[in-house]
Amino acid sequence: MKTKSNDSRIQALQAGYNWKIRSFEIASIIINISLTLFFVISLKLNLIHYIWILPLSWVLADIISGLVHWFADTYGKVEWPIIGNTFIRSFLEHHIDPLSITRHDWIETNGANFFIGIPLLILMYLFEAFIPNTIIILFALTNIWTALTNQFHKWAHTPRPNQLARILQASKLVLSTETHAQHHKSPFDINYNITNGHTNIIFERFKIYRRLEKIFSILFKLNPHRNL
């Protein structure tokens, strides 16, 4: 939560958003969209036959969003190379000032998330001949949901989002304000999944993130520090 004592921290974090990060985000968006369009155009598939993959990708993206979010909040450090000043910095700024995301433009909001899918898209491009079309479509659709996750996250914090956002939220296709609000209540360690938020109930019911933290503590000697 934003307070006067946190103003200097917020200013320092905001200063970390420079032309290098901006260039990284723009490049990530261009590369991700280019690779995705390549698969859509080159495969020439009748996507109607694969419509059943859409809800599966929707669920998978929600899980991925949660794992990335949980790891960044729980172990991430701004000092880490590359991801520190992109993912970790933005998560930390957001927890100090949750409305900061509503002041970001489209590129700053979504650029880093477009990077997440690039390594997998490159692997799919290199080994396309050996990967079943079903898997390619699943990964491509999951990538789209994942790339736009922070946009859904932004809408969940926007006091008066646009009509499209309201329709998608009302239809439960994207993260709702009510579901995500629980994450911003102390101790800030629940409801990490932020594409649509529907898998949070499973993760909380079975305490998946708490179990992962125990595993990380045993295997890697890492203790949660909560980036707050």
Q: What is the pLDDT of residues 6-36, one digit of tens each?
A: 778 888 888 899 999 999 999 999 999 999 9
Can you give the pLDDT at residue 2?
A: 47
What span, in angstroms and rounded, lies between the C-alpha atoms of 58 and 48?
Answer: 16
Q: How much of the chain exceeds pLDDT 90, in percent?
A: 79
Number of CB atoms found within 10 A of residue 186's CB: 7
What span, in angstroms and rounded, lies between the C-alpha atoms of 26 and 157?
Answer: 24
* Parts of the chain with a pLDDT under 70: 1-5, 45-47, 226-228
- The tens digit of pLDDT for each residue in 33-52 reads 999 999 888 877 666 778 89
- Which pTM was predicted? 0.93
The structural domains of the chain, with segments of one domain joined by +, span: 4-220
Here the contacts of 62-65 (C-beta below 8 Å, separation 24 or greater) are 62/145, 62/193, 62/194, 62/195, 62/196, 62/197, 62/198, 62/199, 63/193, 63/199, 64/116, 64/142, 64/146, 64/195, 65/146, 65/149, 65/192, 65/193, 65/194, 65/195
